[in-house]
């Protein structure tokens, strides 16, 4: 049951399109996944996935919900991310490039972050932030699964980040907290939590977040603002209020996208005609949920370079790690840093995160424990199978990969010690071989029941 106040407003706004909109909202939703180019340059999907391209997202596909790709070994290996098709429009319009400095300001659960990371191809700096601690952990897990190594994950307020990173980023994505009307068909809880006052309350919060984002963008940078709601106060209204407060900004005109409707200046007081260059995604016009996206460009401003994180010198690197690396890897990692007993690989040019709540700072290598080193799950997911001295290759349709994901031991005739496990060439975790048996090191919190 959709809220009556919501339906009355949409009937007024949509006019003749309202019946089609209502039928779509009462119909079946679409399901999507997005391939991870950091892992899946060549990917052959199982036949039962029933993949069809999402036309506005290069790596996006619709899938048959009966296939349950989130319960497949390829998902655990980070080969793809389960993402609602309309949500893929944000990353597609951001279209970031390798080498850029990018911020995903409201990033959990990680769909847009991993989309941006795939476009960056491991080059440049990506900071993904989430203000809520529990959701920030989910975000960090998504980054880890995708094998991203040039990302810092933070659990901060937009205000504290704005103080630290003035005029720093080339592109900022703000997928703002909103009233969630576009998710009514997808999530019943969105309907239950909605009230007639929700759009106004959310709009005030969006104004604060956008002002913080504006402070962090360099001259001529781009800000991609999005919501998953239909409420004009939070969509065209948020953009217009932002432009009123920031006269050195403008809505960037983008090429027409056939499935997206233009924004509606007439739906907000004093709306400028530039709002027609924003995008609305309606479920009666495409296969996806409700979304709004605007690309804003700063026409003035300055650039700023914050203090950079400094790696350890070679003599400061724990020798137990270098010994482990020589024994079990064909690759040598540089630019290491240490946080307690945990070793990380710092991306080139990563800002110093001191004083911030940082969950991840690049690639986690593992933990030094009383004269020995234990590799992190993140390292396994970031490696190629050929980079490990010992590997155990399993098949996605075999019983052994299911046993591994359940945390069971497996027979392994390879060399002794740490062994990288992959499924059809996609790394999925670690094991440790002794006497022909692989002891399972797949994280307990991720194991299949």
Please count the CA atoms within 13 angstroms of the CA of 120 that sit on its side-chain side: 28
The CA distance from 323 to 290, in Å, is 53
Closest CA to 32 of 57, 6, 4, 7: 57
CB atoms within 10 A of CB 15: 8
What are the catalytic residues?
228
Closest CA to 230 of 2, 418, 416: 2
Closest CA to 325 of 341, 309, 345: 345
The CA distance from 85 to 136, in Å, is 23
The CA distance from 287 to 289, in Å, is 7
In the DSSP assignment, the letter for residue 253 is P
Which tokens sit at 6?
């919501």
Closest CA to 78 of 51, 31, 110, 126: 110
């Amino acid at each position: 049951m959709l809220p009556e106040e919501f339906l009355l407003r949409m009937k007024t706004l949509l006019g003749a399109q309202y019946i089609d909109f209502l039928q779509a909202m009462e119909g079946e939703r679409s399901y999507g996944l997005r391939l991870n180019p950091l892992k899946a340059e060549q990917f052959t999907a199982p036949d039962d996935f029933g993949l069809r391209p999402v036309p506005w997202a290069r790596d996006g596909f619709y899938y048959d919900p009966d296939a349950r790709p989130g319960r497949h070994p390829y998902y655990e290996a980070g080969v793809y991310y389960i993402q609602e098709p309309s949500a893929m429009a944000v990353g597609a319009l951001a279209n970031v490039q390798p080498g850029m400095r990018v911020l995903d300001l409201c990033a959990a659960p990680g769909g847009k972050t991993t989309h941006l990371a795939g476009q960056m191809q491991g080059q440049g700096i990506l900071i993904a932030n989430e203000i809520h601690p529990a959701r920030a952990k989910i975000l960090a897990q998504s980054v880890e699964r995708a094998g991203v190594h040039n990302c810092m994950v933070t659990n901060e307020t937009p205000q504290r980040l704005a103080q630290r990173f003035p005029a720093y980023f080339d592109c900022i994505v703000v997928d703002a907290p909103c009233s969630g009307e576009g998710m009514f068909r997808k999530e019943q809880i969105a309907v239950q939590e909605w009230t007639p006052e929700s759009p106004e309350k959310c709009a005030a919060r969006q104004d604060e977040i956008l002002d913080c984002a504006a402070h962090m963008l360099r001259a001529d940078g781009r800000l991609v603002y999005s919501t998953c709601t239909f409420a004009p106060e939070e969509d065209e209204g948020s953009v217009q209020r932002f432009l009123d407060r920031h006269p050195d900004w403008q809505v960037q005109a983008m090429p027409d996208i056939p499935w997206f409707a233009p924004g509606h200046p007439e739906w907000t007081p004093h709306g400028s005609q530039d709002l027609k260059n924003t995008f609305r995604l309606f479920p009666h016009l495409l296969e996806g949920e409700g979304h709004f996206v605007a690309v804003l460009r700063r026409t003035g401003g300055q650039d700023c370079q914050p203090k950079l994180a400094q790696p350890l010198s070679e003599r400061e690197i724990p020798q137990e790690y270098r010994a482990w690396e020589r024994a079990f890897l064909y690759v040598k990692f540089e630019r290491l840093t240490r946080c307690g007993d945990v070793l990380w690989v710092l991306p080139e040019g990563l800002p110093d995160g001191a004083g911030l709540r940082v969950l991840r700072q690049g690639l986690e290598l593992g933990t030094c424990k009383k004269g020995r080193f234990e590799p992190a799950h993140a390292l396994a997911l970031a490696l190629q199978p050929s980079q490990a001295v010992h590997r155990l290759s399993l098949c996605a349709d075999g019983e052994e990969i299911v046993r591994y994901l359940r945390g069971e031991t497996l027979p392994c005739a390879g060399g002794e010690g740490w062994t990288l496990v992959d499924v059809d060439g996609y790394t999925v975790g670690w094991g440790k071989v002794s006497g022909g048996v692989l002891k399972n090191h797949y994280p307990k919190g991720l194991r299949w029941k």
